[in-house]
Amino acid sequence: MRRSQARKLQTAGINTLTDLAQTETSDVERMSSITLANLKQQARLQSTSLLTGKPTYELLSTKPEERRGLHLLPPESASDVWFDMEGYPHIEGGLEYLFGVTYLDQAGEAVFSDWWAHDRDQERLAFENLIDWLYDRWRNNPELHVYHYASYEVSALRRLMGRYGTREQALDELLRNQVFVDLYRIVRNAVKVGEPRYSIKNLEHFYMGQRNCNVKNAVQSLVYYESWLEQPDGQDFHTSSILAEIRAYNKDDCDSTMLLTGWLRGLQKEANIAFVQPPEKSRSKMAISDNARWRKHCCMT
């Protein structure tokens, strides 16, 4: 809810989450009926979750021709990858210091792999090694997808491609063929949840138990990494307890993204929602638009 929306509701005498969940009014000054209905639905779900102690959700209705929500979730592949990155913004230009992936081995067991970087040379090498690994895996199985949550990972890969002028063709092919799948984009148009936020940590209430690692969120991972930069307690996660904690957090994020994909596939199957492949023209235009954006970014920086 935007602050401006909250003020309009308060003017109408709706001051709390419970007020909004229970109100029967369908008219709030300077607020559309659709917006009000959406806010009421969200408040009702959050109120129910709080009262029952159980996470609540409702599927949103979408049409195949709209290509939204669960219609964007591709079929599973045994070679699928779940991807998450850790970045450190407090140096000039930022540093992408951890690239993590979860994937399934031949026995179907989840495996975690990671690439680290603590300076510019290592960052370039980690980026190249990741893209080479993803590209080779995709070429061997074109049905695979790389799942991530929100836009940070793909935006960061574009920045690194522009910064170092390397792996342009491989990343361009991955983008053009829509190998990367943003689950946040799917979630926001597929399901309304009784949570105050749509972060992956909130969504975990629907499909995952309590995390065990000491690092609980992205802000804490920054604090840990800054602590290691100031006073390293080892050179890598094998010898550093700080880096080991960050790695455990990144692994949890990758594993959570994998479990989220499975939960969404369950909803997709239950509602009999089919994946809708974009037309070839749309994929080409998207790739051109993506490339134009990162080239413009590179020119500006």
Distances (CA, A) of 153 to 68, 128, 278, 297: 21, 15, 22, 16
Domain span at residue 282 reads 65-300
The helix (H) or strand (E) run that includes residue 262 is helix 241-270
Would you say 255 and 110 are in contact if contact means Cβ atoms under 8 Å apart? yes
pTM above 0.85, yes or no: yes
With respect to residue 156, please indicate whether it lies within any of the assigned structural domains: yes
**Residue whose token pair is 């709209």:** 66
Residue 276 in tokens:
């809708």
pLDDT in the model for residue 212: 87
Q: Kindly report the number of other CB atoms within 10 A of residue 32's CB atom.
A: 9
Same domain, 83 and 203: yes
Same domain, 77 and 34: no
pLDDT in the model for residue 283: 52
Q: Kindly report the number of other CB atoms within 10 A of residue 3's CB atom.
A: 7
With respect to residue 59, please indicate whether it lies within any of the assigned structural domains: no
Same domain, 122 and 262: yes
CATH number, domain at 71? 3.30.420
With respect to residue 96, please indicate whether it lies within any of the assigned structural domains: yes
Quickly state the pLDDT bin for 245 (edges 50, 70, 90): very high
Same domain, 50 and 14: yes
pLDDT digits (tens, 9 = 90+) for 185-238: 999 999 999 999 999 999 999 999 889 899 999 999 999 999 999 999 999 999
User: Which neighbouring-strand residues pair with 104?
Assistant: 110
Same domain, 15 and 83: no
Q: Domains in the chain: how many in total?
A: 2
